[in-house]
Amino acid sequence: MLEIIQIPVLTDNYIYIIHDSISRETAVVDPALAEPVLDVLAKKNWSLTYILNTHHHSDHVGGNLQLKQQTGCRIIAGQSDRARIPGIDAGVNDNDVVSLGTHKAKVIFTPGHTSGHIVYYFAEEHLLFCGDTLFAMGCGRLFEGSAEQMWHSLQKLKVLPAATQVYCTHEYTQSNGRFALTVEPNNHLLQQKMVEVDKLRANHQTTVPSTIVEELATNPFFREDSVELQKTIGMLNKKPVQVFAEIRRLKDHF
């Protein structure tokens, strides 16, 4: 069994600690900061085995060097980001496997938000750690990639099993949902989801993780084939990648 601890940090980031109770190996995904991770490790009496980075932005790697120095952990990140991941020990590529005890995470290359972005997918455990590629009802901004690249990356996540839990790195759900309703105002599942999200946020509770099946039903960046969405944004019968690009453009200006 993997135990997952979600630590809210900075304005809206999440750090995830993943612990395997059998091997006692522990990984942290995208440590923006070191201290909150060290606090959990001390409280749980866990020692850190790995840092898994999804991409090089400072709100994902900020704690790398201090954690490495204080715990002796190994840092794993995308091979193509080698030059810009602080303290990297091992560069991984698409389809590589990272092990935590007997648990295996497959690396999936998802460029778009950045050119080297990767995600970690534990197939047997139905867990996806997707950094800034996929958010609940949203996706990452295109800082270093084209809409076409991001669209291809998202297609790789869209086909994961419905029950897969989506652990993204930011609590952007409520504003993403507000935008989603402007492009698909009559989507009932989206309306329902937003009622839940508004309740959770009013109580300062997390809305993450979501699941792939929820994203298929509510995330406009997974819904290029919705006729309502296409009509609302004036892209009826356009190619999925063109519809995607237009949704991304509209969201950037929302």
Residues of the shown chain interacting with Zn ion in the complex, contacts defined by CB under 5 A: 57, 132
Q: Which of 20, 30, 59, 81 is catalytic?
A: 59
55 has catalytic annotation: yes
User: How many Cβ atoms are within 10 Å of 134's Cβ, its own excluded?
Assistant: 31
Partner whose binding site includes residue 214, from Fe ion, Zn ion, none (CB under 5 to 8 Å by kind): none
Question: Binds 20, which of Fe ion, Zn ion, none (CB < 5 to 8 A, cut-off by type)?
Answer: none
* Active-site pick, 19, 56, 57, 103: 57
- Taking the least distance from each CB to Zn ion, the nearer of 137 and 243 is 137
Residue closest to Zn ion (Cβ): 57
Task: Pull the structure tokens for residue 31.
Answer: 């440590």
Tokens 């935008």 correspond to 179
Active site residue 60: yes
Nearer to Fe ion, 30 or 215 (CB): 30
Rounded-to-integer distance, Cα 241 and Cα 74, Å: 38
Question: At 78, is the secondary structure helix, strand, or coil?
Answer: strand
Binding site for Fe ion (CB under 5 A): 59, 132
d(CA 153, CA 243): 15
113 tagged catalytic: yes
For the bound state, the minimum distance from the C-beta of residue 170 to Fe ion, rounded and expressed in Å, comes to 6
Least separation in angstroms between CB 133 and Zn ion:
9
Min dist CB 67 to Zn ion, Å, is 19
Q: Which of 19, 56, 60, 117 is catalytic?
A: 60
Q: How many CB atoms lie within 10 A of CB 232?
A: 17
Options 55, 56, 103, 117, the catalytic residue: 55
d(CA 92, CA 137): 28
| DSSP designation for 116 | T
In the numeric block, which tokens belong to residue 27?
């990984």
From the candidates 19, 56, 113, 117, give the one annotated as an active-site residue: 113
Per the listing, tokens 């076409």 go with: 148
User: Could you say which DSSP state residue 83 is in?
Assistant: G
Rounded to the nearest whole angstrom, what is the least distance from the CB of residue 200 to Zn ion in the complex? Answer: 23
The total of other beta-carbon atoms located within 10 Å of residue 192's CB is 12
Nearer to Zn ion, 46 or 221 (CB): 221
Looking at the Cβ atoms of 91 and 145, the one nearer to Zn ion is 145
**67, 126, 183 from 24: Cα distances, Å:** 18, 20, 46
Q: Give whichever of 19 and 57 is closer to Zn ion, judged by the CB atom.
A: 57
d(CA 36, CA 9): 8
Active site residue 170: yes
132 is catalytic: yes
CA separation for the pair 228, 37 (Å, rounded): 44
Which residues participate in catalysis according to the annotation?
55, 57, 59-60, 113, 132, 170
